Amino acid sequence: MQYDIAIIGAGPGGYVAAIRAADLGAKVVIVEKGEPGGVCLNRGCIPTKALIASAHSLESAKVAARFGVVCPVGEFLIDFKKVVSRKDEIVALLRNGIEKLFKTHGIEFIRGAASFAGEKKIIVDGAHIDAKNILIATGSSWIDLPNLKTDGIFIVTSDEALSWTELPKNLLIVGGGVIGCEFACMMRQFGVDVTVVEATDSILPPVERAISRILARSMKAAGIGLIVSTTVESAGSSADTVKIKLSSGEKRSFERVIVAVGRRAFTHGLNCEASGIKLTEKGFIAVDSRFKTSVEGVYAIGDVIGNPMLAHVASAEGIAAVEDIFGKPSSYDALSCPAPIFTSPEIGSVGLTSEQLKQNGIEFKTGRVPYASNGKAHCDGETEGQVIVHSGMDGRILGAHIIGQSATLLIAEAALAMKNNIPALGLVSTVHAHPTLSEVLADAAKISAGS
């Protein structure tokens, strides 16, 4: 049988593209060597957010007395086995949902590893798949440090950490990026003694500095050790302890170490050379603005083409690519894709940071409003936070950056405005319900618009 499109990888990029292609009337086959849902569903976004929800529940229970809710006997404790089984149930449920979606959309799902055997020829377990177009959505995998090799037990990636059934007493996280900070906040809420070592001079280096500074302060206040401008020089594990030597010369011991220093394109086993698909210097698949690779009829989307490595970006790119292939105009806009970070407090960002605006010589005005100015924040006992909106001199929103309760939700309004060219004053003239946190975004937009 000839397919209109063969998709390699059933993560959030591949499976969403498959469904969109099927909706557009295409005959679709999707090949996946692991479980449908990719890293996001099986070892990333979903399992971490399920664990974070448990950590938040514990945190809420601990502070309940402040709200007049008391626990007269004993204290709230964590049953980590239950936490893990809840997470596994959620993942299994959603995984099952994807397979059902393939069936209801008439998408053929093949379990196996696809590889190129010619320019536009792919094989799975020796069998040729005949497709007019090929979409590569194979995602990303871990970057391993030569002096900090993961062993799956003591020194691990977040993949293995997500399968822990017991919590360590103390933990070193190497890399203060998105994964490192999300894990640090969650593990601290579970009661683990956490230290983060970050190579640059700030955690979350690409995030608006004022926002990452607030997070750093909050993490320190929660008891997380933050060591910046430092790397791990050497590590050795013995008898349930990992001995670490930092680049500062300091020696420390930890029960477990999580390495989270970024991800690289996953092209292993794909045999791109057989096709002639060009890679970038950093090993990502090189594509043009319409996700076309150097080989006619072969496309690539998601983590495998590089940053930003976000599930919803992969999905949006997948939709844009198949719409382009099957002749439907796409309205994808990379700049207005929001980025959520599920730290405590959480972060939501869209558009450019003040650092990027300055670097590019773009003039802008900033509105900055603290959560503490908002009635609902006080009612919820969540006054730590800030909304920052940058607007251009023409009033267009150039970037919005939020730290605080529900930041990952609130950022959607700023993304909607940016995507649809609604100026800052458009946010201001939209009535925001009182009392809600959304009022803080409108207040910051007002200041940034100079009104």
Binding site for ligand NAD (CB under 6 A): 145, 174-180, 182, 197-200, 205, 231-232, 260-263, 308-310, 340-342
Nearest CA to 186 out of 39, 41, 346 is that of 346
Residues 202, 217 contacting (CB under 8 angstroms): no
Nearest CA to 33 out of 131, 112, 132 is that of 112
Residue 434 among the catalytic residues: yes
Is the Cβ of residue 231 or residue 336 nearer to ligand NAD in the bound state?
A: 231
Per-residue CA distances from 212 to 136, 201, 382 (Å): 34, 11, 18
Burial class (CB in 10 A: 0-12, 13-18, 19+), 80: middle
Question: Which one of 128, 268, 378, 434 is the catalytic residue?
Answer: 434
Nearest CA to 341 out of 404, 414, 398 is that of 404
User: Do you find a cis peptide bond into 340, omega within 30 degrees of 0?
Assistant: no
Collect all residues with Cβ–Cβ distance below 8 Å to 179 and sequence separation of at least 6: 158, 260
Is the Cβ of residue 140 or residue 391 nearer to ligand NAD in the bound state?
A: 140
Burial class (CB in 10 A: 0-12, 13-18, 19+), 349: buried
List the structure tokens of 406.
């529900």
Shortest distance, position 267 Cβ to ligand NAD, whole Å: 17
Shortest distance, position 39 Cβ to ligand NAD, whole Å: 8
- Shortest-Cβ-distance residue relative to ligand NAD: 177
Is the Cβ of residue 3 or residue 266 nearer to ligand NAD in the bound state?
A: 266
Query: Which element (helix H / strand E) includes 158?
Result: helix 158-161
Is the Cβ of residue 197 or residue 285 nearer to ligand NAD in the bound state?
A: 197
Is the Cβ of residue 176 or residue 399 nearer to ligand NAD in the bound state?
A: 176
Task: List active site positions.
Answer: 434
